[in-house]
């Protein structure tokens, strides 16, 4: 009986994962007509970043032998989502584009051929370009409507994580403060609610499905390597098994 329950759980997980793989990616629109090694193409919208690099420098001759200097140099751009490989799906946002460095210096003439120069400065920039698409949440990865009508809560959020506390971010870290300021869709209550990464095992390693929890913002999107025909067969097999149970 215990073995039967284990098989039921495994087949249910396979059904859900196969359904997610079918439901979420955009549908092909090339269909091999271009003769290229891809089946989906989209034109990236024109985007203007309006980058700026302002520089301010001030020199002051305090004494005949002493010159003072101050300099501020920065770089910034518009705060807007950046399009990546799939516009609207894997857009990222750099909310802190301003980086700058400030320096001061003094030059003292000790003699006709000897000078003493001292300078001090600092640089500052803020990191963080998380994905900001609505598809970055676990509960945004949903089953097809026909399957969702039969399985309650048929989303990736229903898949139990291997390590439930792995997505909790320490409030003392820079990442927690940056995510509070950016407020991406997958950030909620101090937790990163990114969908799991799903991948079919490579040929020759057995027909296993590997699932891992995303813990970095750069791994926001599901990697789909499950062939559609294999996923359909797996779903049909599981549904037939449940029907005959």
The model's pLDDT over 26-85, given as tens digits with 9 standing for 90+, comes to 677 766 555 666 777 777 788 888 889 999 999 999 998 999 999 999 999 999 988 888
In a shared domain, residues 240 and 180: yes
In a shared domain, residues 211 and 145: yes
pLDDT (mean) for 97-122: 93
Burial class (CB in 10 A: 0-12, 13-18, 19+), 231: buried
- Domain of residue 82 covers 55-124
- With a cut of 60, say whether residue 130 has pLDDT above it: yes
In a shared domain, residues 134 and 239: yes
Is 40 contained in some domain?
no
pTM above 0.85, yes or no: no
d(CA 174, CA 93): 17
In a shared domain, residues 161 and 228: yes
d(CA 95, CA 104): 28
Q: Which of 136, 46, 127 is nearest to 91 (CA)?
A: 136
More confident site: 101 or 159: 101
Is 88 contained in some domain?
yes
In a shared domain, residues 213 and 148: yes
Question: Over the chain, what is the mean pLDDT?
Answer: 75
The model's pLDDT over 133-188, given as tens digits with 9 standing for 90+, comes to 888 888 888 877 887 788 888 888 887 777 888 889 999 999 899 999 999 999 99
Is 36 contained in some domain?
no
In a shared domain, residues 134 and 240: yes
d(CA 178, CA 165): 20
Listed residues 77, 95, 124: the one ending a domain: 124
pLDDT at position 227, please?
42
């Amino acid at each position: 009986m215990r073995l039967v329950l284990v098989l039921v759980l495994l087949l249910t997980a396979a059904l859900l994962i196969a359904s997610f793989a079918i439901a979420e990616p955009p549908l092909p629109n090339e269909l091999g007509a271009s003769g290229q090694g891809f089946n989906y193409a989209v034109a990236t919208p024109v985007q203007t970043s309006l980058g700026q690099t302002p520089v301010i420098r001030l020199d002051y001759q305090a004494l005949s032998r002493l010159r003072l200097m101050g300099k501020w140099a920065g770089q910034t751009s518009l705060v807007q989502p950046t399009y990546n490989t799939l516009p609207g799906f894997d857009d990222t946002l750099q909310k802190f584009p301003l980086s700058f460095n400030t320096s001061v210096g003094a030059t003292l003439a000790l003699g006709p051929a000897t000078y003493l120069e001292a300078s001090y400065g600092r640089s500052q920039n803020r990191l963080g370009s998380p994905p900001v698409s609505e598809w970055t949440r676990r509960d945004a990865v949903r089953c097809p409507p026909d399957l969702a009508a039969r399985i309650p809560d048929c989303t990736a959020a229903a898949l139990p994580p291997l390590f439930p506390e792995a997505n909790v971010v320490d409030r003392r870290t820079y990442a927690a403060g940056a995510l509070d300021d950016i407020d991406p869709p997958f950030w909620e209550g101090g937790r990163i609610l990114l969908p799991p990464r799903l991948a079919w095992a490579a040929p020759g390693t057995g027909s296993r499905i590997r699932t891992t929890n995303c813990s970095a913002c750069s791994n926001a999107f599901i990697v789909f390597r499950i062939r559609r025909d294999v996923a359909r067969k797996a779903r049909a097999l599981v549904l037939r098994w449940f029907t005959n149970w």
